[in-house]
Amino acid sequence: MNFLKTIALLLVAITTQAQQPEPAKTLIVIFDGLRPDYITPEQMPNLYAFKKQGVLATQHHSVFPTVTRLNTSAYSTGSYPAKSGILENNVYFPEVDKSKSLNTGDARALKRIDSATHGQLLTTVSFGEVLQAAGKRLMVFSSGSTGQAFLQNHTLSGGAIVNPDMILPESYKETVYDAVGQIPAGKEHSAKHIWATDALIKLGLQPGGADVCAIWMSDPDHTTHADGIGTPSAVAAIKLVDEQFGRILTHLKQANLDGDYNIMITADHGFITYAGNTTITKHLIENGFKKSKASDDVVVAGRAIHVKNHDPETIKKIVASLQESEYIGAIFTKGAKPGDLEGWVDGTIAFEAIHWDHPTRTADILVDMNWDDRENEYGYRGTSSYVGPAGHGGLTPYEVHIAWIASGPDFKKRAETKLPTSIVDIVPTVLHLQHVPVPDQMDGRVAYEMLNRKTPSTAPKKAKKDKVVTHVKAPWGTYKLTLQRTILGKYTYIDFAKAERITTGQ
């Protein structure tokens, strides 16, 4: 553990020694890939009813790139990628593998990174560590990947992780299997949701249970990736996870625990329909920048491009090629100096403008695909030039805009707030409700506007829109890039980015 982490945790421990009334417990439910427009009486009756009687943050944001494990880390640390150190779903650590990226969905890969970086998988303080320092427990339940589950409490500080494919600590396996059994081999993915919900109910939501429980449902993401937005199978997956949420609410009510919990509902990202026919890697190979898919001259990790030896001329040539390509959207590079909003390569926006400027782990180029507002056959708006039925990761309103809904003894009833919030604000808000000081390192803020108590006079109360615009002229025409942000006091939220091309003579 680094020095800053140690100091932060010591301060938490010292501050929370003061006598305070016992807070309500917290339950966090994350539906992977949940678009707000999925929440209808027909598809999600339980969540729809919950939204109507709780408080809704209408301007809630995912973090770009809008992928699962980056946002898992942003959530679990209350900090953006520039601090958390997880910058994509696939990440490049040359000290682990020089020729290809690592899949953060596999906890084994994350443990390799942690070992190679001497315990610095995450490069800032995490939720579980802060709770443990305050004498509190976090239990994580998940029906998704082991990597996503692991990143929620990677040090196992004061708690446990319960996932169909990984239970930590190892000594907790027998307890879990005694309570809910094991999923038989070959069972469909839906069985994992039911199993994880069973485990949460029987091991987490009991009298004397953990101070904070979190459950991560890997649908609608899992099914929508395979089949597309609005398809019958995707709708069935949405209905199934809503049923599990209904089971959780029913259990709390029947056990007379419903008044003891603050419940928060959110997602890690939204979703968009894909209609593309090529990839970044294929583009680099076809244009002579990368020798082969396995070569280490240029390594692609998700949307991030790592150029060998950070060669500036190669970086500029790659950017120029991408700017000319119609299927490419926003392009980001490092700023020439701290505080720059424009990237050092003409026509790009700086990593710092999107909270991606990690001191040691950023790539040379970060790329998004182009997008528009077209509807798919089921009436869901938003289309991107990535390949596949549907997905996420881009800087579009359809992937960035997610829901945050809360209800419980400390939250407002039947209310909405239009102030901007982000997934990095969830943990600071939970810590506040648990009477635990929020470490200064965390980027997120306490969402006081959602709480049924007086808002501190120092809390920001009015937001404004802001645009960062850059462009570059080339022989073929002009590439223009616009980044829209929402500013709330010292906090900056990233709304979307849009690239435009104006061809010469147009």
How far is it, in rounded angstroms, from Cα 211 to Cα 136?
A: 6
Contact 127, 201 (CB under 8 A): no
What is the gyration radius of the CA atoms in the chain, in angstroms?
Answer: 22
- What is the greatest pairwise CA distance in the chain? 72
> Which residues pair with residue 467 across a beta bridge?
484
pLDDT computed for residue 69 by the predictor: 98
Identify the three-state secondary structure at position 247: helix
Q: Which of 274, 360, 442, 341 is nearest to 92 (CA)?
A: 360
Supply 317's token pair.
């040539």
Element (H or E) spanning 266, and its range? Answer: strand 261-266
What the chain holds in terms of domains, given with CATH numbers, is 3-273+392-450 (3.40.720.10), 277-326+328-369+464-503 (no CATH)
**What is the rounded end-to-end Cα distance, in angstroms, of the chain?**
57
Q: Which of 63, 72, 60, 64 is nearest to 35 (CA)?
A: 60
Supply 109's token pair.
């890969």
How far is it, in rounded angstroms, from Cα 372 to Cα 383?
A: 5
CA 298 to chain centroid: 26
Q: Which of 451, 467, 452 is nearest to 500 (CA)?
A: 467
Contact 105, 89 (CB under 8 A): yes
Identify the three-state secondary structure at position 306: strand
Residue-level pLDDT, tens digit, the chain, 506 residues:
565 565 566 565 555 445 567 999 999 999 999 999 999 999 999 999 999 999 999 999 999 999 999 999 999 999 999 999 999 999 999 999 999 999 999 999 999 999 999 999 999 999 999 999 999 999 999 999 999 999 999 999 879 999 999 999 999 999 999 999 998 776 788 999 999 999 999 999 999 899 999 999 999 999 999 999 999 999 999 999 999 999 999 999 999 999 999 999 999 999 999 999 999 999 999 999 999 999 999 999 999 999 999 999 999 999 999 999 999 999 999 999 999 999 999 999 999 999 999 999 999 999 999 999 999 999 999 999 999 999 999 999 999 999 999 999 999 999 999 999 999 999 999 999 999 999 999 999 999 999 998 889 999 999 999 999 999 999 999 999 999 999 999 999 999 999 999 998 66
Contact 119, 126 (CB under 8 A): no
Quote helix, strand, coil % in the chain, to nearest 5.
Answer: 35, 25, 40
Q: What is the pTM of this model?
A: 0.95
